[in-house]
Amino acid sequence: MAQAPEKFEHAPVEGKTAIIFTDLDGTLLESDGSVLPDVVRLVRRLGSEQIPVVPVTSKTRREVSDWLQRLEIPGPAIFENGAGVLFAGGVEVSSEAIPAQTLLSILGEACRAAGVSVRPLVEIPEDELFRLTGLSPREQRDARSREYSVPFLAPASAETPLLERLRAAGSLSVVRGGRFWHLMGCHAKSGFFDLIRNRCGAWGSSLGLGDAPNDIPILQAVDVPVVISGRTGPEPELVSRFPDAYRPAAFAGAGWVEAIETLVLARLSSPVSRKPFDDGLPARRGK
């Protein structure tokens, strides 16, 4: 069970609403990029309860825009690991964001210096990328439309020497997602959280859900962190960093549903919904 905040408000009270920050791939979405009907139903239910659901993802602006439409979320949404945030009225970009072409050049130089070879997402053939991600040709075009980050695949033998070179370059960060490493500027998924809370009027309690190491900023920045498992179990680094986080027994989207139903929806109409967050919740953690 996650450490409980002093109070968790499920509906607008004195101008303060709860807010949910969620990763997409492997968390709200399945590992193949699909979405469960129950997830769609719950996202829409949360909208009707005036609880913002904010996607926070390594996906591109185009991909995020598509998912906002499909899930009927008005925004905001954070794209490319905190490089920018998409609001209904426009986009704001982090001052730490670095253009993707510059990052590709830096990656190439680091690979040559370290004597290793990696495969940037933009260079992976369409059929192979489909096998890896399940993305259609159109979805692949959106995924390749990187503005401020470079996802890449690296063999295990290349990781240490390459990461040392990249981190020594300064003003860069390298994080690991579900499949890909991501090279980017010194921004993080949580960089726009305060701005979003202010725009949404959501200064009540916050819930954060993620499944991979690049979700650490999400889980650090919320009142109630939730670690979503993959088919082989939870990410060990997240378990180590967040030992008290709530961990649903189900994985991916089903785990997302379990967490939302257990931690939020079960208490929406409860007379004790303004009591401490862990009142009446099962002291159980997924295996």
Average pLDDT, the chain: 86
Q: Provide the pLDDT for residue 240.
A: 97
| Beta-carbon contacts of residue 94 (< 8 Å; ≥ 6 apart) | 82, 83, 84, 148, 185, 187, 191, 192
- Is residue 77 assigned to a domain? yes
pLDDT tens string 38-91 = 999 999 999 998 899 999 999 999 999 999 999 999 999 999 999 999 998 899
The domain total for the chain is 2
Q: Provide the pLDDT for residue 267.
A: 66
Average pLDDT over residues 83-104: 95
The last residue of one of the domains, among 168, 184, 200, is 184
> Would you say residue 151 has pLDDT above 90?
yes
CATH number of the domain that 84 lies in? 3.40.50.1000
Tell me: do 154 and 260 sit in the same domain.
no
Tokens of 194: 């305060």
CATH number of the domain that 117 lies in? 3.30.980.20
- Is residue 1 assigned to a domain? no
As a whole number of Å, the end-to-end CA separation of the chain is 12
Bridge pairing between strands 206-210 and 224-227? parallel
> Would you say residue 183 has pLDDT above 50?
yes
> Would you say residue 136 has pLDDT above 80?
yes
CA distance to 116, 193, 226, 259, per residue, from 33 (Å): 30, 25, 20, 20
Average pLDDT over residues 111-120: 90
- Is residue 281 assigned to a domain? no
Tell me: do 74 and 193 sit in the same domain.
yes
Cis bond leading into 76, ω under 30°?
A: yes
Q: Is 164 helix (H, G, I), strand (E, B) or coil?
A: helix
Residues 60 and 79 sit within 8 Å (Cβ to Cβ):
yes
Tell me: do 90 and 105 sit in the same domain.
no
Tell me: do 88 and 197 sit in the same domain.
yes
Q: Provide the pLDDT for residue 167.
A: 81
- Is residue 4 assigned to a domain? no
Q: Provide the pLDDT for residue 120.
A: 94
Q: Provide the pLDDT for residue 8.
A: 37
> Would you say residue 31 has pLDDT above 70?
yes
> Would you say residue 1 has pLDDT above 80?
no
- Is residue 9 assigned to a domain? no
Tell me: do 178 and 199 sit in the same domain.
no
Tokens of 210: 């993620």
Q: Provide the pLDDT for residue 268.
A: 66
> What letter would DSSP give residue 12?
-
pLDDT tens string 140-150 = 999 999 999 99
Tell me: do 107 and 238 sit in the same domain.
no
pLDDT tens string 222-260 = 999 999 999 999 999 999 999 999 999 999 999 999 999
Question: Confidence band (pLDDT; 50, 70, 90) for 14?
Answer: low
Tell me: do 176 and 210 sit in the same domain.
no
Residues 118 and 103 sit within 8 Å (Cβ to Cβ):
no
% of residues, the chain, pLDDT over 70: 87
- Is residue 14 assigned to a domain? no
Helix 37-48, helix 252-263: angle, nearest 10: 30
What is the value of pTM for the model shown? 0.84
Nearest to 185 by CA among 201, 197, 169: 169
What domain range includes position 205?
A: 19-94+189-267
- Is residue 139 assigned to a domain? yes
Tell me: do 171 and 205 sit in the same domain.
no
Question: Confidence band (pLDDT; 50, 70, 90) for 16?
Answer: low
- Is residue 226 assigned to a domain? yes
